[in-house]
Amino acid sequence: MSTALSNSLAGAAGAASSDISAAPLRIGLIGFGCVGQGVYDILQRLPGLVAEVRRIAVKDPTKPRSLPVSAFSFDANELLHDPELDVLVEAIDDAPEAFRLVSAALGQGRKVVTANKAMVAQHLPELLALQHEFGGTLLYEAAVCGSIPIIRTLDSYFGHEPLRSVSGIFNGSSNYVLTRMGDDGSEYGAALAQAQAQGFAETDPTLDMAAFDPRSKAVILAAHAYGVALRPEQILNLGIESISATDIAYAALSGQKIKVVAGLYLLPDNQLTVLVTPQFVSRTSPLYTVDDEFNGVVIDAEFAGTQFLRGRGAGGHPTGSAVLADVAALRGNYRYAYAKLAAPQLAYTTDLEIEIYLRTSNEVLLDQLGFTDITEEADEDGYIVGYVPLDTLLHHRDALRKAGAFAARTGNVRPATTQPADALALATAE
């Protein structure tokens, strides 16, 4: 071994030893639900992570918990003003309160980790401005796809490479329900009850089943993958609350499954569109075998080609592992680069027509959607397949939900007011 290499290895070993002996990061944990408990539990089992929970803030002093009452503070503001805490980890499910706490911490120049995807999606420009003005750092890997390191991958590895698409299953709760319906032949209500019993769905499952949750995640990924800052309401989200065994069987006839797919697609003329809907997924897609509470993400890059990441998207330990990955990154002063936000932005468009499968008996709704082209229709089964303007679907998405209609996209998309031959080849991995 050369002297230079020997010295280099010795220096690296010394640096590692120094890091191991460094004082642990002192964490203030806000929230002790599924994610907060997961973070705490992992830290107890991994003392070598060089981080420890010093204080925990919760809201309800009467709620039974795994730690004694004396372990908790009941005012999160106390942690905000504790100068002995190095990192604040926000793990509550109240988006407005999370924003108040996180923005206050960033206004103090603090290091913050959050798992709150709705809060980040609604306030990302404001959070970035606070980081820039006061020098704090906000990381939120756990906000998207649980244990899958998708944000860091897009921000660091693909920070400069053009991406044709980023698509996937971003919600483990709805995916679990769809898996039960496909595997067991369960109706939606029974499958949802199973998901709730397993802890994969909330008592009020609206955010997951109506696709508001994956929509928030798509907003976050749009900033990192394409440098486009979107508002959640700009994105079409259709859920599975009205899905039936009939719809599952229709997909199975052609060897497909129905999955809730969030897709970010680069279009010709430097335009971007984002869709979050149920979709028919074929056996050739890597998403076809992503079942139960798992998530999967397909990245189609200009030069690197297609990449596929799969992992658990729900649960205290998978999400807690992503939180702690951010905590560990903060030790090395890591922060998101947002390279594509600094570059010229793409134009966001909804001026498209998408082909959908729609099951409804509501004739008024059918008229309102204004199908421009019908490719299949079965009156006896109550469904129609054809192209609908995306802007029209955005306008009537609440009406679809109220009418109990179920809509899924086939994967075919084309520019608005064109002929079928001009269909775009989107989502080739799906």
Domains annotated for the chain, with CATH where assigned, are 3-139 (3.40.50.720), 160-307+344-422 (3.30.360.10)
Task: Tell me the CA distances in angstroms from 364 to 368, 373, 396, 402, one per residue in order.
Answer: 6, 18, 12, 13
Res 56: pLDDT: 98
339-357: per-residue pLDDT in tens?
A: 999 888 899 999 999 999 9
In this structure, are residues 413 and 282 in contact, taking their beta carbons and an 8 Å threshold? no
Res 49: pLDDT: 79
pLDDT (average), residues 44-71: 91
pLDDT (average), residues 322-343: 94
Global pTM value: 0.91
**Helix residue ranges per DSSP H, 63-143:** 76-80, 95-107, 117-134
Residue whose pair of structure tokens reads 């960033």 in the numeric block: 106
Rg, C-alpha atoms of the chain: 23
Res 344: pLDDT: 80
Catalytic residue among 117, 217, 257, 340: 217
Rounded Cα distance, 299 and 307, in Å: 5
273-316: per-residue pLDDT in tens?
A: 999 999 999 999 999 999 999 999 999 999 999 999 999 987 88
Res 21: pLDDT: 46
Rounded Cα distance, 84 and 66, in Å: 25
Residue 9 has pLDDT above 50, yes or no: no
Residue whose pair of structure tokens reads 């805490």 in the numeric block: 85
Task: Tell me the CA distances in angstroms from 405 to 109, 233, 277, 362, 392, one per residue in order.
Answer: 48, 20, 13, 8, 15
140-154: per-residue pLDDT in tens?
A: 999 999 899 999 999
State yes or no: is 217 an active-site residue: yes
User: DSSP string spanning 230-289?
Assistant: --GGGSEE--STT--HHHHHHHHHTT-EEEEEEEEEEETTTEEEEEEEEEEE-TTSGGGG
Residue 39 has pLDDT above 90, yes or no: yes
Cβ atoms < 10 Å from Cβ of 408: 27
pLDDT band at 67 (very low <50, low <70, confident <90, very high): very high
High-pLDDT (> 90) share of the chain, %: 82
